[in-house]
Amino acid sequence: MIDIGKQWHVNHVVDDYRAVADWYRGVFGAVDVFTDQWLDPEKRWASMVAIADLAIDVMEPTAEGADLPLGKFLARFGSHLHASAYFVNSPPADIYDALTGTGVRCFGLAGTGRDAMVAQPMSPVFTHPRDTAGQLEFMPFSQARPGPLGVPGRWEDPRFVDGWSNEPWRTHPLAITGWRVGVVVRDLDRATDIYRALGADVVAKDDGKDAERSRLELGANTTVELIKPLTENSVAGGDLARNGEIMHSCIFETGDLAAAEAHLLAHDIVIAERDADRLITDPASCHGAAFEFVAAEPA
């Protein structure tokens, strides 16, 4: 079993990374993890921001990388959440072997294979999205200032610095008290088994009129919410119908759902669905990403 630690980030692939990073700063009070980083193997620019202790890597593939995985993703899906990345306490070749041993197809940066992972022991491993109900990324962890490709010193992730606190987001108008990663799936049992094989535990289920949902705890600090839509006439159902099983949403728990809604509306974000305990944004007003806000459960 892969030893999964903390969430590293969620990928948001877009066509203008600077504009979208600014949008996260303005709407969510996001702070910078790094800015304006070029990664040559993927031919893309990126800035990473943090909302509480959830990081979002805003990536813009360039025309030069049109035939590489991120470029192909943007061409096929447009701006959209892309993958969920985790720190792991294993070298990439071991991760590759563990996953392929269970039938999960894997690759490295820009579609490279196992030999490249052996040559670069601090590089990420990506799963084939069809094998893991959406793409997952596993990044070997360097305790000393984790940075791009785990190289210490390239940048300092503020979430790993003494004094880091999520309190600014609790007092923000969105009143964020926690977060989850949302994935749309066709077969809830199959997707749950995939995550269980990675060490996840089911902690809650919620069968609503529009979707069946299963919450799982994975690694050190991540809750994954698997969403099986029951209709295509919903944000999740439309995403699944258009794009298949995919990283769908960031789900934020809020201490004040009404205040969160007012803040989103003030930033010209369209609320596509709402009920007493949950609201869901229209991806068209959020650079192709869906965001859900759910009333925090009483402590």
What phi and psi, each to the nearest 5 degrees, are found at residue 176? -75, 125
Q: What is the pLDDT of residues 210-254, one digit of tens each?
A: 999 999 999 999 999 999 999 999 999 999 999 999 999 999 999
In the chain, the domains with their CATH numbers are: 4-144 (3.10.180.10), 169-295 (3.10.180.10)
Q: What is the pLDDT of residues 87-113, one digit of tens each?
A: 888 889 999 999 999 899 999 988 999
Q: What is the pLDDT of residues 167-207, one digit of tens each?
A: 999 999 999 999 999 999 999 999 999 999 899 999 999 98
Beta strands 54-61 and 4-13, pairing class: parallel
Interior CA angle at 141 toward 196 and 66, to 5°? Answer: 85
Confidence check: pLDDT of 6 > 80: yes
Q: What contacts 241, CB < 8 A, 6 or more positions away?
A: 232
How close are the terminal C-alpha atoms of the chain, in Å? 32
Beta strands 44-51 and 54-61, pairing class: antiparallel
Query: Can you give the pLDDT at residue 194?
Result: 92
What's this model's pTM, rounded to 2 decimal places? 0.93
How far is residue 282's CA from residue 181's CA, in Å, rounded to a whole number? Answer: 17
Beta strands, E only, the chain: 4-13, 31-39, 44-51, 54-61, 80-88, 106-107, 125-127, 135-140, 176-184, 201-207, 211-218, 222-229, 246-254, 271-274, 278-281, 290-295
Cβ neighbours, 10 Å, residue 49: 25
CA distances from 59 to 11, 19, 146 (A): 7, 11, 19
Structure tokens at 2: 């892969």
Kindly report the average pLDDT of the chain as a whole number.
92
Structure tokens at 203: 């902690």
- 240, exposed or middle or buried, with CB in 10 Å at 0-12, 13-18, 19+? buried
Whether residue 206 contacts residue 222, with contact meaning beta carbons closer than 8 Å, is answered with: no
Interior CA angle at 52 toward 47 and 57, to 5°? Answer: 20
Query: Can you give the pLDDT at residue 109?
Result: 87
Query: Can you give the pLDDT at residue 207?
Result: 87
Whether residue 227 contacts residue 183, with contact meaning beta carbons closer than 8 Å, is answered with: yes
How far is residue 180's CA from residue 34's CA, in Å, rounded to a whole number? Answer: 22
